[in-house]
Amino acid sequence: MDIKLVQHAKDYIDAMARGVHPLTGQEIPEADTLNNIKISRCLYYVSDILGEVIENGGVSKPQKGKKEPFDETKIDVSQIKYSKSPKNVSDLVTQINELRPENMVKLKITAITDWLVDIGMLEILTFNDKNRKLPTAKGLSMGIVKEERTGLYGTYQAVLYNEAAQHFIIDNLPAIIQGGYNGKRERAKKEEEILI
C-alpha cells in the first residue's frame, strides 16, 4: 500500500470535512451536500480510519496472532486444585484456562457441559421457555448435584460438581477436546446447517 497516496487522500477528506474544496482551498457553499453535518461526520470518521492505516504502516489495525486450538496436553493438570465442597463448572474451567499458554484459545464451559449431555450425565430440560442442563440419575451418582439457591430473579437450581465429578472431568479432558466439543463440532454443525 502506498502510504503517501493514503496520506494524500486523507488530506482531501480532511479538507472536505472542514468545508473546504480540496483542490482550490476555497470554502464550500453552505448549501452544498458536503456541508451537511452527517456527511461531515462521516468524512471525519473515514479520516480517522485512514490515520490508523498510516500509523500502522498500511493496515487498519495491527494483525493479532492467531491463537492455536485448546490442547489439553499442554496443560499441567497436576496443578488443578480440587475442591472438597461442590463447585460450579465455571470455577473448574477458569482454573484450567489459567494454566493454558497465552497463545491458546480458552476452554469453553459448553465444551464440558455438552459432552456431559452426550454421555448421559446431564440432560436438557425446559423451564419457562429456557433450556437448562441438569444432572441425570447417572450424573447424580457421579457427583453432579443440584442445589436450590435464591438469586435476583427468585429461586433456581444450581448445578455443582463434587470432588469426584471434578476429577472425572479433568480425567476426560482428552475425550472432550478430541471429540471436538471446544469449537470444531460447533463449526461443523453450522457448516452442516448451511449445506441443508
**Given this model, what pLDDT does residue 10 score?**
87
166-183 pLDDT, tens per residue? 999 999 999 999 998 987
Domain ranges of the chain: 3-55, 72-195
105: left (phi over 0), alpha (psi -120 to 50) or beta: beta
DSSP 118-158: HTTSEEEEEETTEEEEEE-HHHHHHTEEEEEEEETTEEEEE
Mean pLDDT of 131-148: 94
Mean of per-residue pLDDT scores for the chain:
85
Mean pLDDT of 63-85: 88
Cell of 46: 473515514
pLDDT at 194 over 50: no
88-133 pLDDT, tens per residue? 999 999 999 999 998 999 999 999 999 999 999 999 998 777 788 9
Cell of 59: 493496515
| Overall size of the chain counted in residues | 196
**Given this model, what pLDDT does residue 187 score?**
42
Q: Which run of H or E residues covers position 98?
A: helix 89-99
How confident is residue 185, by pLDDT bands cut at 50, 70 and 90? Answer: low
